[in-house]
Amino acid sequence: MLVALIVLFLLFLMFAGMPVGFAMGVSGVAGLFLKGGPDAILSIMSNAPYRTAANYALSTVPMFIFMAEIVSRANIVREVFTAAEKWLGRIPGGLAIATVIASAGMGAMSGSSTASAACMSSIAIPEMRKAGYSMPVSAGVVTVAGTLAIMIPPSIPLVIYGIVTETSIGKLLIAGIIPGLLTTLIYSIGIITWNKARPGIMPVGRSFSWREKFESLRPLWAFLILGSIVIVSLYAGIATPTEAAAVGAFGAALISLLMRRVDLRGLYEAALATVKITTMIFTIIIGAMVCGYFFTLTQAAQNMIGYIAASQIPAWAIMGSLVILYLVLGCIMDQIAILLLTLPLTFPLVMNLGYDAIWFGIIVTKLAEIGLVTPPIGMNAYVVSATVKVPLHEVFSGTGVMLVFETLTLALLMAFPAIATWLPSMMK
């Protein structure tokens, strides 16, 4: 009863407009007071927030954010889009597929979905509009394709998941490669199918000579280097996730300076944006930690596991219920807040059912992807709307068909766990 009361109080604070990190912290403190009195609050708040924020593994987060901010400002992904446009532009829907491929490339260099959506909005939407695409279709493709950045490594949500659940961050990041590529492939096939079902919705782009096509591949060296730094160093066991993130951020800064895409002022602005985003994430982490201590004190996870075990509900039904829960929460909450709030309860339950920790991390990340483009919160949709100055309802109206392809990918990942677990099982 007390747990339900605190959860309702948390939801009330969030709907009242309180930032989610503070809402979790305040509701957690209220729960601790009701459960253990002032002593419980003092014993936890005296040192737990510092110990949580001082976790060495969390230094991976600002490094990946800094890398994303630099890459976004340097516009390195533009070469990927240009090359894809020249090779695919002549087929119906080619520009949309080029946008998906470029978004996957952006994901391999950043790990931030909002940074990917903002960058691709300024690059792809003007070109798609010039080719005759409608605004809802253009904005919808960019909005949904931007979610690839949190599946393809480096991925900030997978780092958070690994820290909260004490699962190998390196294996989680590598596990995102095949699901990310699978999502890219299904988006591309889906766009072709969409265009066949509604001929003319995605016009044919202009043609290019073979010489122009091959010349478009030459400037991709920066993308190939940056996209390989994190993945190769992790898979080969050369670097830890934190070290790989630091090298990736340094590489992004160095290459961007050498290419004269950013100057020292640009690096300063990227660092300032990184501090702001990191502060927001750490506030959510600390608030979730306070909530987590309350759930631990009330033994909510253990009681839930015991109840489900006694009721003999099939594992597939429980997993299906969790999927629905995450989809609903994705409509109203930030992805990182969802992970931090729910994992202390859902992770022990899923492990007790015998599921793989890495597979569950990929499924939760895929569900977070869907939440990023689902109204009313849909953070990617807000970013695209603000970047290209288009009404929000037009953005959401274009995401519906793309969400069908996203759901298909989710179903494949749930039906065939090896898609997520095979590659990390081969790591050194």
Residue type, 24: M
Map residue 8 onto helix, strand or coil: helix
pLDDT tens digit sequence for 185-236: 999 999 989 888 888 788 877 778 888 888 888 888 888 888 788 888 887 7
CA atoms of 356 and 353, how far apart (whole Å): 9
Q: In the predicted model, what is the mean pLDDT of the chain?
A: 85
- pLDDT of residue 178 exceeding 90, the answer is yes
C-alpha to C-alpha distance for 250 and 270, rounded to whole angstroms? 13
Task: Provide the H-helix boundaries in 54-168.
Answer: 60-74, 77-88, 94-107, 113-130, 135-145, 156-165
pLDDT at position 161 is 92
Sign of CA dihedral 55, 163, 103, 211: positive
Average pLDDT over residues 372-399: 83
Percent of the chain with pLDDT over 90: 15
Distances (CA, A) of 73 to 68, 228, 257: 9, 19, 11
Q: Which of 345, 341, 320 is nearest to 330 (CA)?
A: 341
The DSSP letter of residue 241 is: H
Say if residue 301's pLDDT is above 70.
no
pLDDT in tens, 208-218: 888 888 888 88
Angstrom distance (rounded) from CA 87 to CA 289: 49
Greatest mean pLDDT among 28-42, 112-126, 153-167 lies in 153-167
Q: What is the pLDDT of residue 305?
A: 67
122, with CB counted inside 10 A (0-12, 13-18, 19+), is: middle
pLDDT at residue number 185? 94
Distance CA 100, CA 85 (A): 11
Residue percentage of the chain with pLDDT more than 70: 99
pLDDT for the residue numbered 420: 93
Per-residue pLDDT at 187 = 93
Mean pLDDT of 166-184: 92
Q: Range with the lowest mean pLDDT among 117-126, 288-297, 338-347? A: 288-297
**Domain map of the chain by residue range?**
22-425
- Spatial distance between the Cα atoms of 145 and 402, rounded to a whole number of angstroms: 9
Band (369; pLDDT cuts 50, 70, 90): confident
Non-local CB neighbours of 234 within 8 Å, separated by 6+ positions: 153, 170, 173, 174, 241, 244, 427
- 412 compared with 295, residue with greater pLDDT: 412
pLDDT range class, residue 428, cuts 50, 70, 90: low
Query: Which pLDDT score, from 0 to 100, does residue 181 have?
Result: 93
Mean pLDDT of the 385-414 span: 88
b/e burial code for range 26-45 (CB count within 10 A of at least 16 → b)? bbbbbbbeebbeeebbeebb
pLDDT tier at 180 (50, 70, 90 boundaries)?
very high
CB proximity list for 199: less than 8 A, separation 6 or greater: 92
pLDDT at 147 over 80: yes
pLDDT at 221: 85
Q: What is the mean pLDDT of residues 342-357?
A: 88
Residue type, 317: A
Closest by CA position to 83, among listed 62, 72, 97: 97
Residue type, 270: A
Distance of CA 137 to the CA centre of its chain: 22
Alpha helices in 133-220 (DSSP H): 135-145, 156-165, 169-175, 177-197, 210-215
Query: What does the pLDDT read at residue 378?
Result: 78
pLDDT for res 309 = 64
pLDDT of 41 over the 90 cut: no
Cα gap 396→394, rounded to integer Å: 6
Which residues lie below 8 Å from residue 88, measured CB to CB, with a gap of 6+?
Answer: 94, 95, 97, 98, 101
Other Cβ atoms closer than 10 A to 265: 8
**Residue that the structure tokens 């080719």 belong to:** 131
- pLDDT reported for residue 38: 83
Question: Which tens digit of pLDDT belongs to each residue from 242-290?
Answer: 888 888 889 889 988 988 888 889 899 999 989 988 888 888 888 888 8
